[in-house]
Chains A and B, each alone.
Chain A
Amino acid sequence: MRLSVKIAVYMLGVIAFAVLLLTYLTNAKFRSLQEEVERSRFLALALDIKGTAERGLALGLDLEQMDNLGAILDRLDREHPEILSLRILDDQGEELHAAGPPLEPATTTAGLHHLRVLGEAGGEAGLRDVSGDSAFGLMVPMVNAFGQVAGVLVLHYDRAPAEAAARAVTLEQMQFAALALLFGGLAALLTAALYLRGVTRGFARMTRWAEEEASASAAEGADDDLERRFLEVRRRADEVEEMVVRAENRLRRG
């Protein structure tokens, strides 16, 4: 394989590696940002329900007495097709109001346990991620006027549309990357061929001189220091060969 092609292949390899790295890492950042925007949209709905429930709790009502919560959950479930499930549970995990099936019971139970532990330690309850394999989810604690957790809202949503959009972006990025690599490959080949032209020609010429029986090409002249040095080496090699011939002749005569 020609030196310029070999170097171009490696250059392309390096560029491909860098392009893949860039594509992967930017895609990762994009997905994080996309998830954040998506989550904040559902969080806005969840915080609205939390506000409604906490106003009722402040008036002395129990969560299970607030029938309007069920209606709100049903309406949101109807209006937002990405919402898979909306449930209000009491602090023991008992379902009080629900729209949609219960999802990811394991993460929900773990979330509730965490809230209980936090409550016992006197910590402040906050938003918790209850995503699982089948759906993404949020758990929002609802506190009464004394700051005690009276229950939680668990919202699970479907990420399929966002995933589809992210996949489309990834595909686009791959296409850009492939196109850039094609351009990069051609440019690398051209660059390497042009840049190494002097070196490859020099070595090709020296190869020819090395393969010739006698150093007749010395007259051709050398273009640079390396070639000049090789011509000297070639001349020396011929001298050494002459020494061998001289020894052979003397041996024959002797």
Chain B
Amino acid sequence: MRFDRNARRRWMNWIMSALALLCVVVALVPLGSIIYTAVTFGGHVLSFSFLTSGYPLACSPTPSQPTCPVGGIGPAIEGTGVLLALSSLFSVPPGILAGVYLSEFGRGRLGRSVSFFTDVMTGSPSIVVGIFVYTLFFLFFGPRGVFSALSGAVALAILMIPIVTRTTEEALRLVPNSVREAAYALGIPRYRAVLHVVLSAARGAILTGVVLAVMRAGGEAAPLLLTALGNPFGFQGLTQPSASLPPIIFNFGTSAYSNQVAVAWGAALVLIIIMLCISLTVRFALRSKLS
């Protein structure tokens, strides 16, 4: 009887382990497929000049010109860099401060409503944020102010704020109370204890949240189609439309010309690689710090 039970337990153990492994595989298949497809269709266009050259013109192969120039995505990389830098500037300070408020000070009705609206913002579709920013800029700056780098950065910042806020709040809640008490017992005023001791203890997790937010914003196309729009030249000033990576993947990916489609694949691969690099850099930087 005892042996039967053991056999059953071993069987169950084996089945459950196999099931868990299967789930891992299922979760990894789409990721692997995306990377494989991007490399297959976009890998051959990658080169240094692809990262710096201008967009390709529409071109069909003809007997006199059997291959079309591929060009590059220089303007989009420049624009995405500027947009992400601006949107980080707009979203990280308010996001972190809101997280600090929720974790350290937010009691009562105001705290609860900030928390509620953060959840609502996290769940709002990016296209809706795009329409909101479009309307906002239309009202304040008129039809000529709508499509600009500034409006694009604002749209991305609105998507980033709730992510930064939530991760900051959760990171601060994980800092043990004994650390706060230690700071108070040294006669350190509360705001300084929060800024220099509690935030510093949670900085790794907060930085991870910021990176998550940047990566989310970096992959967004929908709100940018309504705001930054795109241009063939890169970043042309805050009030001018700006190029960026996700919209050109959309635009060139639906093009009828094979050289432009190839550029869309290449841009997709570059976007994946950039995100991977950001993530790895931050992980590496965190590991080398005190922890």
Partners in one complex: no
Q: Which A residues lie at the B interface, using CB under 8 A?
A: none
Q: Which B residues lie at the A interface, using CB under 8 A?
A: none
